Structure 1
Amino acid sequence: MPAPERIPPGSVIPADLLTVLLKGRLTVRGRVREASNAVLYCGIEYDGVSVSCVYKPVTGERPLWDFPDGTLAQREVAAYEISEAMGWGLVPPTVLRDGPYGEGMCQLWIETDAEGAGAGLLALVEDEEPAEGWKAIAFAEVGEGRTALLVHADDERLRRLAVLDAVINNADRKGGHLLPTADGKLYGIDHGVTFNEEDKLRTLLWGWAGEPLTSEAVEVLARLSGDLAVGRSLATRLAELITAAEIDALRARVTTLRTTGRHPEPSGDWPSIPWPPV
């Protein structure tokens, strides 16, 4: 029997990948030890196609007092649905399916560039102002009473991700959740703490806070607003993943972004940067 064809991310259409992720035979190969919840590295095969993926079973999730409804897995899939609706492809193909340890999230494994997650996108500098091509986040203590300025790249891929995070109310956008690839793409992962009804946006991507949204983002948000209308297919799919109140809050965030026309700013009611930041 010939070996299954190895397909790199992006070489087949998303619908094909979703079929592989949904229907393929899942084989656990290892565990991502540093994760706070169960994260399993797996191989998946379907109809002669083999890819690698991440499988996060619901049984391995730790309860969160401030996210009492639904599951991390459901919210991860909901984040993928929103990413696809926005047309930016920022979240790897993600499905909800049964696996060796029960129902869970299954997401295409993304190979990062040689320098690793977040490479070239974040930095600590000793200057008080960011250099050209960089945006300031905040000052951070680096030991011995010294501080340094934490900055992120002034990168359109990051700016799109900042808009996505504002829409889904991402409470945990860390540097390690940024996956740049060798072909120039950027993915964001780990969207289990999203869609809360309350403002919980915590991110390292505050560099555009208060600035006008790009014309592209304005157009994308207008389209997304229509897709979230009651009875539309996106709204129907989301209703299977998050609560009605969370969908209402999602619609309200999109409306706010369209009304202000600007990137959100930290509210001051919640820590604005996740810890640890990387």
Structure 2
Amino acid sequence: MSESVSSGAPGGRPPLDPLDAGGLDAAGALRLLRDGTITVTGRLVEASNATLYCEISLVGVGDGDGDGDGDGDTGRCVYKPVRGERALWDFPDGTLAGRERAAYLLSEATGAGIVPPTVLRDGPFGPGMVQLWIDIDETVDLVALVRSDDPQLRAIALFDAVVNNADRKGSHLLPGPSGRIYGIDHGVTFHVEDKLRTLLWTWRGHRLRADELELLACLREAAGGSLGAALAALLTDAEIASLRARINRLLTERRFPVPSGDWPPIPWPPF
């Protein structure tokens, strides 16, 4: 799948609000992430894997079409090199960056703009995931937000059910200055076993709306076409088959999932 930008988030909003992204739109962000020069300036020490805070710049690079458009764009990003991934007992080594990219592609396919622009590319410490830095509204109380029934959180809860997110912490929700809520840290997703672990259980067992069922039907079709082809470079055949099975199950049951007694339903720590 190319670095195309989806038609937009629900309600006609673009998939990325420049107010949350240092003035960049989605197309500009993807160009910057793909072609910009990365300079590591810090590390997010609370992350379990190597997570580097970086400046990224297209100064002197341009966008490759010779017209100078895009030359001079700068921004901030998070760079997670594959070599810095901590080994996990239940996920194959060296696959977390690809899962982050896969989550972005699926988010793009929904048009919901949940996951910030994300690419796989080489960086100062080798290949890894590079994701646009999102500014957050520091006045938002994350605990109160997670306990709310904000419709954006409902969309994220459905997204997490589809990607089988095993670690939706409160700190993985980013409320932007625009009012948009983004989701990050999708390295432990797309497992073949049901591992949904999240703070967003507000809608457990609730019936899916008609628009949500329509979205799932579109995702099912895309998973058998262009989206599936793009995911094939990032996930195993079994993981893609499990993705399709989860979509089919949601369409059949027409309800949000409920916590399973076979897997802890809430991540630890929760924030």
**TM score, norm. by length of structure 1:** 0.84
TM superposition shift of 1:109 = 0.3
TM superposition shift of 1:8 = 5.3
Rounded Cα–Cα distance in structure 2 between residues aligned with 1:236 and 1:217: 23
CA distances 1:80-120 after superposition (whole Å, capped 9, x unpaired): 00001011000000000000000000000011002367364
Does the 8 A contact of 1:117 with 1:176 survive in 2?
no
Q: Which letter maps to 2:113?
A: G
Does the 8 A contact of 1:22 with 1:97 survive in 2?
yes
TM superposition shift of 1:12 = 4.1
Q: Determine the structure 2 residue equivalent to 1:60.
A: 84
Q: Which letter maps to 1:32?
A: L
TM superposition shift of 1:216 = 2.0
TM superposition shift of 1:213 = 1.1
Q: Secondary structure, in 3 states, of the residue corresponding to 1:98? A: strand
Q: Determine the structure 2 residue equivalent to 1:32.
A: 44
- Point out the more displaced range, 56-65 or 12-21: 12-21
Q: Determine the structure 2 residue equivalent to 1:274.
A: 267
TM superposition shift of 1:16 = 2.5
Q: Secondary structure, in 3 states, of the residue corresponding to 1:206? A: coil
Structure whose CA Rg is larger: 1
TM superposition shift of 1:218 = 1.1
CA distances 1:221-253 after superposition (whole Å, capped 9, x unpaired): 111111001xx2211110011111000000000
Q: Which letter maps to 2:238?
A: A
Show structure 1 runs of 4+ deviating over 3 A: 10-13
CA distances 1:150-184 after superposition (whole Å, capped 9, x unpaired): xx111100000000000000000000001001111
Q: Determine the structure 1 residue equivalent to 2:212.
A: 217
Higher helix share: 2
Q: How many pairs does the alignment contain?
A: 242
Q: Determine the structure 1 residue equivalent to 2:97.
A: 73
1:250 lines up with 2:243 in the alignment: yes
Residues 58 and 262 (structure 1), Cα distance of their counterparts in 2 relative to 1, 3 Å cut: same
* 1:18 equivalent among 30, 41, 60: 30
Q: Determine the structure 2 residue equivalent to 1:92.
A: 116
Rounded Cα–Cα distance in structure 2 between residues aligned with 1:10 and 1:83: 21
Rounded Cα–Cα distance in structure 1 between residues aligned with 2:94 and 2:195: 17
Q: Which letter maps to 1:228?
A: A
Rounded Cα–Cα distance in structure 2 between residues aligned with 1:35 and 1:72: 13
Q: Percent identity?
A: 58
Q: Determine the structure 2 residue equivalent to 1:146.
A: none
Q: Which letter maps to 1:256?
A: R
Q: Determine the structure 1 residue equivalent to 2:61.
A: none
What RMSD over aligned residues (CA atoms) do the two structures have, in Å? Answer: 1.6
Q: Determine the structure 2 residue equivalent to 1:144.
A: none
Rounded Cα–Cα distance in structure 2 between residues aligned with 1:29 and 1:40: 8
Rounded Cα–Cα distance in structure 2 between residues aligned with 1:199 and 1:178: 22
Does the 8 A contact of 1:238 with 1:247 survive in 2?
yes
* 1:51 equivalent among 71, 75, 79: 75
Q: Which letter maps to 1:57?
A: P
Rounded Cα–Cα distance in structure 1 between residues aligned with 2:119 and 2:255: 32
Q: Determine the structure 1 residue equivalent to 2:54.
A: 42
Does the 8 A contact of 2:20 with 2:136 survive in 1?
no
**TM score, norm. by length of structure 2:** 0.86
